[in-house]
Structure 1
């Protein structure tokens, strides 16, 4: 063989990646809600969080998916950031299971024996069955395609084994090991997946004379390279996503530096361990074990440091948390997991409503001047636009019927809140300051505004919590008060104490506030179904 079979190699890598995507998507669809519930109940201690992260990543074959779960749980308040670290650390160890699959199955058995039947059966199930059985078909087909791709990669390396000359790198002396670390890092940057690069390194080691210590250095480089992917994924993301990505980076860089410094001793330990437990002594098995050892060492290093890392990261990216116009919970990375995305959307709608109510109260009590209120209202418009964009992105993804129904409700709720924001913006522009009238009229205005503030108490309740009962009776009582207020205003105009212009201004104020209350009430009704239809 005089040239490298590029077509076979890149085709194999492509199949491997497609297989991973199919398998992960199928696992999310088949076990997603169950896995989410499992993690909700098993992440309240460091050990449970670690084991949960390990199990979730072993099932999903994607530490990125587990990281998304962690971000979703932090945003929802299910998981503290400190506890989420152990979920992330467990996910790192879970990624090493792919190496074991490759070493013990992919490189030992003729993949054609089971890959083709798995692909055929998987596609059949996906085509003719829905829900979990169809999702299981995706898992089967994904596994088959993954190992088929691995077979092509192995065959490409095997056919061109004579072309691989590592002498130039091996002759670099003390820099040789560092050079192989760089090779692993570059492979991960190109493949955008440490799982793929690990599979490539294991296949290369199994089919060439690559020394085990050099391959182990490449494994370290592959793990450090995965931090670049984490940085890329955190760009423009929420503060919690940036903190999770930072934790991933700190873990891999710390584990990488220590493992690289101890590399000769760790490689010797592999031989002792394998001999003691009578394990297969192939280089692929040693590298799979090294990958696991690398991550376990990282966890051991994190035990005394995790508390301080959590405290440090919680102080980082705080600016993102206080920007009104920037979504706090919406994260594009969560779109691949609709149950988490819809929960984040609900939390953001809660925040949108809370900011809006705060602004309404500020206007009603005249705690804000024009220069303070108007910028906030404009920023609320930006936040509302971001929420709408996120809903549109979610609508393009595949989701369960129940999630689609929740998404429709969220869109309707967002519409009502936007109406309230429009009313408020108009009021702020028309009533830049509270004009003084006669004592009796001022008293009536303040009493009406006080009743508005009381009704806001019944609205200021998070989505998913049991609200105070903003019943039709309370709205009817408010309508009576509204009618009485207008009657008093007209009488004041008739007797000449209030001008017609002032009467129109005050009436418009009261009408807009009433419409605002009804928009809030309709949004609450959509969520809780505790308010009878009222279209006044």
Structure 2
């Protein structure tokens, strides 16, 4: 085998992996915005969840990506641990489609497929059509890489030293270890199995004699694929770690089961070989499919026990700190869809913290401190922290590649976190005035307190409605928010005029009057930012009833 064969082998492998990743990215761009909704709605039943997991994984052509997405959704609290098991098992079935696709071996027409895909990408102006072009082009690149690898490997079949080396790898455990290591290196079970198929196709692994070795290597490749979700769970919540553990447990049980069965009943190898006589690539693809189907059939009814084992191994609950990310973790940085879902959850936290502080800052004027000053400060610190981290995460979504709909949602999230952070600052101002007045032993008049209570209630309402509208936009709700913001402006004008009268008639001191005006400014700004939040979700054209249209 010459140096040029080695270079061609490396280049072919690079094109194969690049094509596979490019195809996965293109498929996720086409379907990514729907994945979250599908996973949320169709995972209550284990059988349906398994079918959904298989279908979606076949669609995006990556069990690693699907498992990482599930880890991310569980970490974000968007999916329960029990519901994730069916999807994880389905993902293992779905990923076998890649091997079946490779077994067709359409390398001869691969350049034409790549050309058609590139042409669609270059000449189409619609993003969705461009994504379809990317999928077609990547499929062509994938098979060009496979053809290059196969041609580069053929000289190895005649190398005595290489055949001697293969004979030393006859130990099943050693073959499993080789499969694990290889998959950990290239981070894709589908790509690993594809390389194994090319070794068989080129005659480097001579079938049927070398089929048992290939089978055990394939078992190791499946275990190696569980490393990606394990890495994605690092730094996540304990349920996310349990998901990763279940993936490893599933693959390990399947591997041990098939190693025992094939040692006791070697005829299993003959059965698999007879599914596609004389077609080594299809035989490996079928072996991979059979392994995953049988393992799922055995373990799916035991899903609740896998969950219990994971809870026994990974015990306890998560410690919650306000100024920390509770949902965004490493799994999010591998999928734009997952990351946006996690950001949604963090924004929900931010909304709750701001709401708690806003209410505390106004109720203190009536002698009702709903939370301690220390808790208020921790909340404000957490809001500032979340604002910074969420903005950084939103910037990352551009690098990960998201659909047009998801990109628009990410832009809206940027605006909402900015408004939430500013509302938090206004709440801090309002509390500061109260604490200063308490220190100076000053109080508002009964009329001022009545006005403050009325305005506070209106501000709570518009804030809550705005956040509701952001989650579920509707024209009717937007109209209510729009009108309420106008009413608050009028309310503030009247209260400001009333405050001026009290000052002119010496019914309150100038300092109290100044504080009252500052509070009016802050609460009016809260209403303005609340309207901004609603507009970030969806802005509707509003016309006055008497306006001539």
TM bucket, shorter chain: 0.7 to 0.9
CA drift of 1:151 comes to 1.7
Report how many residues are paired.
525
For 1:449 and 1:298, the matched residues in 2 are separated by: 63
CA deviation map 1:315-339 (0-9, x unaligned): 9698668333334444565567655
Is 2:190 aligned against 1:195?
yes
- Alignment match, 2:148: 152
- Alignment match, 1:183: 178
For 1:531 and 1:311, the matched residues in 2 are separated by: 53
1:310–1:488 CA distance, 2 compared to 1 (3 A)? farther
Q: Which of 293, 296, 311 in structure 2 is aligned with 1:296? A: 293
The range that moved more, 477-486 or 153-162, is 477-486
1:3–1:265 CA distance, 2 compared to 1 (3 A)? farther
Q: Which structure carries more relative contact order (alpha carbon 8 Å, separation 6+)?
A: 2
Is the partner of 1:323 in helix, strand or coil? coil
Is 2:322 aligned against 1:324?
yes
Preserved CA contact (<8 Å) 1:472 1:531 = no
- Alignment match, 1:441: 445
Structure 1 gaps of 5+ residues are: none
- Alignment match, 2:484: 474
The range that moved more, 85-94 or 500-509, is 500-509
For 2:486 and 2:298, the matched residues in 1 are separated by: 63
Is the partner of 1:418 in helix, strand or coil? helix
- Alignment match, 1:501: 511
- Alignment match, 1:233: 232
1:520–1:12 CA distance, 2 compared to 1 (3 A)? same
For 2:492 and 2:325, the matched residues in 1 are separated by: 36
Is the partner of 1:305 in helix, strand or coil? helix
Is the partner of 1:82 in helix, strand or coil? helix
CA drift of 1:374 comes to 0.8
For 1:503 and 1:243, the matched residues in 2 are separated by: 58
For 2:33 and 2:422, the matched residues in 1 are separated by: 34
- Alignment match, 1:53: 53
1:295–1:352 CA distance, 2 compared to 1 (3 A)? same
CA drift of 1:197 comes to 1.6
1:480–1:139 CA distance, 2 compared to 1 (3 A)? closer
CA drift of 1:352 comes to 1.6
- Alignment match, 1:223: 222
Preserved CA contact (<8 Å) 1:72 1:344 = yes
Is 2:411 aligned against 1:408?
yes
- Alignment match, 2:537: 527
CA deviation map 1:407-463 (0-9, x unaligned): 333222222112112222334445437629688726742662464145314432443
CA drift of 1:357 comes to 0.5
Preserved CA contact (<8 Å) 2:176 2:220 = yes
- Alignment match, 2:547: none
- Alignment match, 2:379: 376
Preserved CA contact (<8 Å) 1:324 1:383 = no
For 1:164 and 1:288, the matched residues in 2 are separated by: 28
Is 2:268 aligned against 1:269?
yes
For 1:313 and 1:136, the matched residues in 2 are separated by: 40
Preserved CA contact (<8 Å) 1:194 1:223 = yes
Preserved CA contact (<8 Å) 2:73 2:342 = no
Is the partner of 2:370 in helix, strand or coil? coil
CA deviation map 1:95-149 (0-9, x unaligned): 12222233x323xx6x2x2111112222112111243433332222212211111
CA drift of 1:314 comes to 7.6
- Alignment match, 1:306: 303
- Alignment match, 1:138: 134
1:497–1:258 CA distance, 2 compared to 1 (3 A)? farther
For 2:246 and 2:32, the matched residues in 1 are separated by: 24
For 1:4 and 1:98, the matched residues in 2 are separated by: 28
Q: Which of 336, 340, 349 in structure 2 is aligned with 1:351? A: 349
1:430–1:257 CA distance, 2 compared to 1 (3 A)? farther
CA drift of 1:19 comes to 1.0
For 2:90 and 2:247, the matched residues in 1 are separated by: 11
- Alignment match, 1:518: 528
- Alignment match, 1:125: 120
For 2:502 and 2:129, the matched residues in 1 are separated by: 72
CA drift of 1:13 comes to 0.7
Is the partner of 2:226 in helix, strand or coil? helix
- Alignment match, 1:464: 471
CA drift of 1:306 comes to 1.4
- Alignment match, 1:452: 456
The range that moved more, 371-380 or 299-308, is 299-308
For 1:488 and 1:29, the matched residues in 2 are separated by: 57
The range that moved more, 36-45 or 129-138, is 36-45
CA drift of 1:92 comes to 0.8
1:11–1:383 CA distance, 2 compared to 1 (3 A)? same
1:2–1:474 CA distance, 2 compared to 1 (3 A)? closer
Is 2:358 aligned against 1:360?
yes
Preserved CA contact (<8 Å) 1:50 1:91 = yes
Is the partner of 1:222 in helix, strand or coil? helix
Preserved CA contact (<8 Å) 2:462 2:484 = no
For 1:476 and 1:125, the matched residues in 2 are separated by: 50
The range that moved more, 45-54 or 514-523, is 514-523
